[in-house]
Structure 1
Amino acid sequence: MKSVSLQQFTLRTGVVAAALVTAWSGLAGAAGANPGDQVAQFTPTLTRVPGPNCAAIINAETVPQPQSGVFGVRLKITQTGDFCGAYHVTVHWRNLDTGRTSGQSQRVEGTTVVGLPDGVITGMGMGPGAGKVEAWLDTYSEVYPQNVDLEHIAGRATFTLG
């Protein structure tokens, strides 16, 4: 039984990986996140999702904010599987010029970022200040007594904030 489950996961992972490679070819690049600058595309995040044979591809891009040194991240999620559970996406960042690090998490249900109708994560954890910024996405599931990291390949982007 475990062998069949592993084969199914391997097959699904292969299909998702092929889609990931296709998506990468059109999404790579670095750009600024200032109101007048271009949007930076993250490489796609591939993650397992709680539930039987559940997985998701998370495409993300920066969203310019009116404040200097602040950015938002818009998520677009494609999910496969039946009876999939909720999970969290965390946007981590590191200002490569100052060394400052932080991030912010948001709950995801299906293909929807909970509480954010436009799918844009913003807030106090999204202000690295001016400089070159490296950002990446992680996923985890809330499980008592502690959160559990989900298997994933983190999407990444590098951009400059003014």
Structure 2
Amino acid sequence: MFRTGVIAAATAAALSGFAGTAGANPADPVAQFSPTLTRVPGPNCAAIINAETVPQPQSGAFGVRVKITQTGEFCGAYYLTVHWRNVDTGLSSGQSQRLEGTGVVGLPDNVITGIGMGPGAGKVEAWIDTYSEVYPQNVDLEHMAGRTTFTLG
């Protein structure tokens, strides 16, 4: 009888989340952003940035994989910022990464992860902006932001 009670309690704890999560929630979907269209520093330079979310090992976090198609010659580097807002909790943040050509500088497979990408469980709105680093302040590039909405477990 005691053993049955312990098994039942352990099962109930696991099902209700008290046992913790060992990895990403398998229900976390891969969400596609609408394309981000942006001008890029340089003569007649522009880019189309396609992006999708990437599930992460920890619950309540996400990464973003970008694929960049760029046109123009002698185009300069610029920055991409992934902004997010958790609709359920009100938390918001984001993360910027430097882009050169069709790649995210220093990140393998063009996947952006890190401290700015942990909104926690709930419905998340995310969008992508671009800017150029110009002294004395950053300048937003002319762009149409890519957007998506998804739910993290």
Aligned length: 130
**More helix as a share of residues:** 1
Structure 1 stretches of 4+ with a deviation exceeding 2 A read: 33-38
**Cα distance between partner residues in 2 of 1:65 and 1:160:** 13
Task: Describe the superposition over 1:27-64 as per-residue Cα deviations: whole angstroms up to 9, x where unpaired.
Answer: xxxxxx84443310000000000000000000000000
Q: Given that residues 79 and 98 in structure 2 are in contact (C-alpha distance below 8 angstroms), is that contact kept between their aligned partners in structure 1?
A: yes
Describe the shift of the 1:53–1:140 C-alpha distance in structure 2 as closer, same or farther (beyond 3 A). same
Larger-Rg structure: 2
For the pair 1:137 / 2:128, whether they are aligned, the reply is yes
- Which of 85, 89, 100 lines up with 2:76 in the alignment? 85
Q: Which residue of 2 aligns with 1:120?
A: 111
**Cα distance between partner residues in 1 of 2:147 and 2:125:** 7
- Which of 64, 68, 92 lines up with 1:101 in the alignment? 92
Structure 2 regions of 5+ residues with no counterpart? Answer: 1-23
Per the normalisation by structure 1, the TM-score is: 0.78
**Cα distance between partner residues in 2 of 1:157 and 1:34:** 19
- Which of 41, 52, 61 lines up with 1:50 in the alignment? 41
Over aligned residue pairs, what C-alpha RMSD do you find? 1.1
- Which of 64, 67, 81 lines up with 2:58 in the alignment? 67
Amino acid at match of 1:55: A
- Where does 1:32-47 land on structure 2 (aligned, <5 Å)? 34-47=25-38
Q: Given that residues 34 and 161 in structure 1 are in contact (C-alpha distance below 8 angstroms), is that contact kept between their aligned partners in structure 2?
A: yes
Residue identity over aligned pairs, in percent, reads 86
Structure 1 regions of 5+ residues with no counterpart? Answer: 1-32
